Amino acid sequence: MIRRKTIQCDLVLDAVNRLKDHATAEEIYEEIAKEHPSIGRGTVYRNLGRLSEEGKIRKVEVPGGPDRYDHICIEHYHVKCQKCGRVFDVDMPYMPNLEKNIKDGHGFVFTGHSIMFTGICPGCRKKY
């Protein structure tokens, strides 16, 4: 199916690229609404889904929190701050064949992995 390019889709992509901080859908909506108050939340959410399906942005599922959206689309790892909940990139090489090291007794065929590290970010370390 060919999807036409829309202004709203461009606004969402621009916001994700401008924020560069693993923003939530709500944060992306708020960023766009500053200049385009008539845009609807549903429009932003739909376009986030579309852009992540097309591989133009990356949806990062965060255990115990809202999904985040990343402007970096290559495979990489993240860390979530246990204090403020922000998500950051981890500076380490992605391990594409990690699944091959799993000894599985349940009959799974592993197709990939997603690892979210936890820690306390520098900003929160200064506060506590």
Q: What's the rounded Cα separation, in Å, for the pair 50 and 27?
A: 17
Tell me the pLDDT tens digit for each residue of 77-112.
999 999 999 999 999 999 988 988 888 888 898 888
Strands 78-81 and 116-119: parallel
Q: What's the rounded Cα separation, in Å, for the pair 70 and 92?
A: 17
Tell me the pLDDT tens digit for each residue of 32-67.
999 999 999 999 999 999 999 999 999 999 988 999
Cβ pair 60, 72 in contact under 8 A: no
pLDDT surpassing 60 at residue 20: yes
pLDDT of residue 67: 96
CATH architecture group of domain 78-127: 2-Layer Sandwich (3.30)
Two structure tokens written together for 83: 């204090």
Cβ pair 110, 99 in contact under 8 A: yes
CATH architecture group of domain 7-70: Orthogonal Bundle (1.10)
Return the SS3 of 43. Answer: helix
pLDDT of residue 4: 73
- Name the residue ranges covered by the structural domains of the chain: 7-70, 78-127
